[in-house]
Structure 1
Amino acid sequence: MGKRFFVLFVSPLLVVTLFVFYDKKVSGQNGLSREGQTIAQVRNIIATQYVEEVDDETLFEGALRGMVDTLDPYSAYLDPESLEEMKVETEGKFGGLGIEVSLEDGWITVITPIEDTPAYEAGILAGDRIVEVEGESTEDMTLQEAVRRLRGKPGTQVTIGVLSLGEAEPHEVVITRALIRVKSVKRVGIVDAEAKIGYLALVSFQDDTTKELEEAIGRMEEQGARAFVIDLRNNPGGLFHESIYSADLFLEDGVIVSTRGRDSRANEEFLAQAKGTLPPYPLVVLVNRGTASASEILAGALQDHRRALVIGSRTWGKGSVQSIFELDGGKRAMKLTTARYYTPSGRSIH
């Protein structure tokens, strides 16, 4: 392809010691902060007074999760199980319903259903709130816990309560879990042979998305296509760097996206290069409420450079970048919002 020159900036920037439990007899020593003393006091009261015995590992996990949960909906503490799930997701194969969710106003909210998955076929829509899982309310449930409950062995069923936009009461939906295999590019073909227009749906950004996109356009070129419709509707995003690579296929120069954060190392401009750019075919990009994150980066870059006509409804508005910080020798991790991204014209997507 010749265009893969970027380094994904969201690799760990530093090692952070998040939390230390102090023994009661140590907590009074000089040098320990007031906050540290209070934490040690809480730990010791729980250890000696709580009605049931609680091991330090449980308290440690709860403290880590609690700190990150006070932040935005996209930051999260990843225990070993959650970390492994995240790795599986980016490979494009996992067991579950086929929905991308976030935490909005304390409720699990669907960003978008993934096409041709059980959730999509059950009629789940972007903006739906999942208010119950197997009869248990999801109000104030962590995102990781909700995802864990929704996933399961392929072939098993899960009952969820769904509150759709405009509805006063939730309705019950029974969905059979399946092995979710997500291909980034779907429904490739010529939609108007006379006008030489090709169409493809780009449904997610994961490993090899740009390669799939370039190959799909190449196949349609061989069939005579000289203009393309790129459908980003219900694309929840995915890997940040893949959206940049994809935009670079269509841009010869200029800024694709910039990021800004508190740490100066998060302040980056990602530039297009002429090498490997596709011919300047006319482009139309389709978007909707389910278009989020990395797909907004692609649409924004093509729109600001006047490289494509963007058509559709208002997108989701997830204009933040999450970095993964490894903890405990890589056994755990923290997904932390470290920057906001801006389109070439300086727009923040939110």
Structure 2
Amino acid sequence: MENQSNDKKYLLISGLIVVVVGSFLGGYFFSRAGYAIETAPLRFTHLNRDQAPQDVNWQILWDTLQAIDKKFVDGPVDQQELLYGAVSGAVASLGDPYSVFMTPQKSQQFQEDLRGEFSGIGAEIGIRQERLMIVSPLDGSPAEKAGLRPLDVILAVDGESAINFSLDEAVGKIRGEKGSTVVLTVLSDGAEEAKDVAIVRDTIVVKSVELDISEKDGNKIAVIKLRRFGEDTKKDLDKAVTDLLKENVKGIILDVRNNPGGFITSAIDVASNWVKDGEVVVSEQFGDGRKDGHRASGVPRLSGIPTVVLINEGSASASEIVAGALRDHELATLIGKKSFGKGSVQELIDLPEGADLKITIAKWLTPDGFNINVEGIEPDIEVDLTSENIDNFEDPQLDRAVEEVLKKM
């Protein structure tokens, strides 16, 4: 969900990660410990010591900063990097892989992701069971061409162990300039031995929506492939819906396999093509138990057309919201494999000098109250897609989806 204000946005994303400790009048305050980091000029300042909380000894932080400044052998210390490190450490202490502080450079990379344009290998990554793994390689990307698959565990990047990498660190090491090469050591799902995979980085442009209409047994079936939930998704999907309605299609397959997510507003826009105006698409559950429902709006132009949703291990976040909404409202059959299980809400907060804070503020619940986070969405019909299938250009999940759509007609 993107707020109308300029200082924060809400999104669902399965890659990248932030929390800050307060921003007042051009200086960062670490709680009310009596110190601030002023940005013009950049320096640490002592103030309001009498307001320091009694249950936390903030002096540990300030003594450490002073010791670094006075005694570090390779000083003087870059105060900007010291500030970034302090804030990053505060965020990391939350133990939440989706909350992260982003420096201006990393913030720019994050914005490029949402626009669907960046330079890298073309794969979304996530942390599951404390392991760094591939969530979804993008279609036609260097990652996919190199053979990476969802749930591949990344053990090392260019020979450096990835065991203790945060998502932020992993993204920074895997990305790079177009034409450069990165070597990932990966352990594929079900494999006994790891392997090195060399990948040449390229400019990645992610198309939001693709439409394919084919005829089966005299009936036209539309396959809508959603690659991400971005700012352009509603416009692109509206055009696709108009086109398929002109073709008088009799069935629809919504393919969100390997779709890592995006803006919640886009997820609601997508679901609103099936869900009736005013009905709940998803609810936010906050830490204090409060729930806010997000409802469909507009005319559900695809309501009444037999629909199947394809999901897999790479379907995350906004993809899971749409799949869960259509399932709970009995508007579609889900086919494929259990989704990734990323059902938390991040608020994106603009910070001074181009930095950003992305912090988890709530969890998502489907209309029937199912918690998407960790557990994921189970398909109604489970169908495997094996490496052999991929090598032979077979798609048994899509084939089964076509069968089910024809049964519904």
Q: Work out which of the residue numbers 88, 104, 108 in structure 2 matches 1:65.
A: 88
Contiguous gaps of at least 5 residues in structure 2 = 10-19, 37-42, 374-409
2:285 is equivalent to residue 260 of structure 1: yes
Kept after mapping to 1: 8 A contact 2:284/2:363: yes
CA distance in 2, matches of 1:9, 1:346: 27
CA distance in 2, matches of 1:45, 1:15: 22
Structure 1 residue identity aligned to 2:247: Q
TM-score, normalisation: structure 1: 0.89
1:94 is matched with 118
- Counterpart of 1:248 in structure 2 is 272
| Residues 2, 263 of structure 2: 8 Å contact kept | no
Structure 2 counterpart SS, 1:311 = strand
Pairing of 1:192-271 with structure 2 (within 5 A): 192=216, 194-253=218-277, 254-262=279-287, 267-271=291-295
Where do residues 11-90 of structure 1 align in structure 2 (5 Å cutoff)?
12=8, 16-17=22-23, 19-20=29-30, 21=35, 26=46, 29-33=49-53, 34-53=56-75, 54-71=77-94, 72-90=96-114
Which one-letter code corresponds to 2:125 in the other structure?
A: V
Give the drift of 1:8: 3.7
> What's the offset of the Cα at 1:32?
2.9
Deviation at 1:284, TM superposition (A): 0.7
1:237, 1:295 within 8 Å by CA — same for their partners in 2?
Answer: yes
Task: Give, as a single letter, the amino acid of the residue that structure 2 aligns with 1:121.
Answer: K
Shift of 1:133: 1.4
Pairwise CA distance, 1:165: 2.0
Between the aligned partners of 1:60 and 1:314, the Cα distance in structure 2 is: 41
Q: Say if 1:100 and 1:25 are closer, same or farther in 2 by CA, change over 3 A.
A: closer
Q: Tell me if structure 2 keeps the 8 A contact 1:106–1:141.
A: no
Q: Secondary structure at the match of 1:241?
A: helix
Alpha-carbon distance in structure 2 between the residues aligned to 1:44 and 1:135:
36
In the TM superposition, residue 187 of structure 1 has moved relative to its aligned partner by: 5.2
**C-alpha distance 25-339 of structure 1, shift in aligned 2 (>3 A):** closer
Instruction: Tell me the residue number matched to 1:344.
Output: 367
Cα deviation for residue 315 of structure 1 reads 0.8
Match of 2:196 among 156, 172, 178: 172
Change (3 A) 1:105 1:317: closer
Is the deviation greater in 302-311 or in 53-62?
A: 53-62
Q: Which residue type is aligned with residue 305 of structure 1?
A: H
**CA separation in 2, counterparts of 1:226 and 1:15?**
54
Q: 3-state SS of the aligned residue for 2:361?
A: strand
The question of whether the paired residues in 1 share the 8 Å contact of 2:272 and 2:299 is answered with no
Considering only aligned residues, what root-mean-square deviation do their CA atoms show, in Å?
A: 2.6
Name the aligned partner's letter for residue 112 of structure 2. V
Counterpart-to-counterpart distance in 1, 2:307 and 2:240? 14
Tell me the residue number matched to 1:190. 214
Counterpart secondary structure, 1:39: helix
Answering whether residue 140 of structure 2 is matched by residue 116 of structure 1, we say yes
8 Å Cα contact 1:28-1:37 kept in structure 2: no
| 5+ long unaligned stretches in structure 1 | 1-5
Higher mean displacement: 184-193 or 136-145: 184-193
Query: In the aligned structure 2, how far is the partner of 1:213 from the partner of 1:85?
Result: 25
Instruction: Sort the Cα spacing of 1:112 and 1:25 in 2 relative to 1 into closer, same or farther, 3 A.
Output: closer
Which of these residues, 325, 330, 344, is aligned with residue 349 of structure 2?
Answer: 325
> Which letter does structure 2 place at the counterpart of 1:349?
I
- Paired with 1:24 and 1:100, the residues of 2 have a C-alpha distance of 38
Following TM superposition, by how much is the alpha carbon of 1:333 offset from its aligned partner in structure 2, in angstroms? 1.1
Aligned to 1:295: 319
Could you say what secondary structure the match of 1:108 adopts? strand
TM-score with structure 2 setting the length: 0.77
2:262 is paired with a residue of what secondary structure? coil
Q: Which moved more, 1:27-36 or 1:191-200?
A: 27-36
3-state SS of paired residue (2:238)? helix
The one of 91, 104, 121 aligned to 2:128: 104
Aligned partner of residue 201 in structure 1, secondary structure: strand
Give the deviation of 1:26 after TM superposition. Answer: 4.7
Partner of 2:324, secondary structure, is helix
Compute the displacement of 1:75 (Å).
Answer: 0.9
Displacement of 1:278 after TM fit? 3.5
